[in-house]
Chains A and B, each alone.
Chain A
Amino acid sequence: MGAEGHAISERLHDGPLQLLGAALLKTEMCEQLIVLNRGDELPARLAELRAALEQAAIDLRSIMVDARRESPQR
């Protein structure tokens, strides 16, 4: 893998992957809140989950745009 690939890999790891990891934890928290009959806390947690997923999508788009810019089609 070239330097470009490494840089993309690092950005994917530090950005979207970490956000997806956090999002997975938030889904588990929602499951737990249901089990614990704390459904009133769900809307706030779901909003956090959505924010994490939105940010992951934004980061992915940005990485895609930069990757295209750095490797123009021949």
Chain B
Amino acid sequence: MYLERSNDRESARGNDIRVVLADDHQLFRQGLKALLEMERGITVVAEASDGLEVQRVSLEQEADVVLMDINMPIVDGLSATRELLRARADIGVIILSMHHEEGHVFQALRAGARGYLLKTSRVSEVASAVRAVSTGLSLLDPSVTTSVVSEFRRMSSKQTPEDGLGQLTETEVKVLQHVAAGMSNKEIASRLSLAESTVKNRLSVLFEKIGVLDRTQAAIYAITHGIAPTAVQNVRVGV
């Protein structure tokens, strides 16, 4: 069911980050909206209570960031994330859930979410995540980071230098660093003087070599292997 749209496109404040809240619990949505709107630079442009509606309103309202619950009627938050990113890959999706089990976190990352926070987070933390994700960064709740890092350590320990990082070419390492910095394929192409299609192809090969499924996993790989740019390491190690 579509719920009240809080603002029209025109009434969002200037360059504010346009946020959509998707959660079937109205009490939670109301509380979060009221607090987020006290944060500078953030406007809640729409709310949705199911996974189908969130896709529609996010596209209609040109959302920058979607705060998405997992358990929602009609279409769950993970499927909604996948579908939404298929339609507009540049939207930053942050899963906001009561689930802290690593299975949910990995599923969320595989679906393309760039953030995972627990509903017990303070709103200032949610706001920081919204800001980070809107600039292309990824962010995880500290309580789930350990399991994610452990999983990537486990993946890394399975690989010899020859079948993982050591097999990357110099350009692929640079592409990986730019992915970790949150750049889009277009931005990476421009930065490295390559065609966008070349970056896309290199990424496919790179993912295969390091054994990851998407750019979020690649970014975490870059951080855990110490090859992300220093600024990103500083921002994300504290995730």
Give A contacts to B, CB under 8 Å.
13-14, 17-19, 21-22, 24-26, 28-29, 32, 36, 52
Contact partner, A18, options B25, B34, B35, B38, Cβ 8 Å: B25
Please tell me if the beta carbons of A18 and B31 are within 8 angstroms of each other in the complex: no
* Total number of residue pairs linking A and B with CB closer than 8 Å: 40
Which chain A residues border B28 with CB–CB below 8 Å? 18, 21-22, 25
19 new A-B contacts at CB < 8 Å, known A29-B34, A32-B38: A13-B98, A13-B99, A14-B71, A17-B98, A17-B119, A18-B25, A18-B27, A18-B119, A22-B25, A22-B27, A25-B31, A25-B32, A25-B34, A25-B123, A28-B122, A28-B123, A29-B31, A36-B38, A52-B27
B120 located at the interface, meaning its Cβ lies under 8 Å from any Cβ of chain A in the complex: yes
Classify the interface of chain A: helix, strand, loop or mixed.
Answer: helix
**What 9 A-B pairs have minimum CB-CB distances, sorted nearest first?**
A25-B31, A22-B27, A21-B119, A18-B25, A22-B28, A17-B98, A21-B28, A22-B31, A28-B123
The answer for the CA separation of A18 and B35 in the assembled complex, in Å, is 17
Which residues of A sit under 8 angstroms from B34, Cβ to Cβ?
A: 25, 29
Q: Per-position contact with A for B111-153: 1 when CB-CB < 8 Å, else 0?
A: 0000000011011000000000000000000000000000000
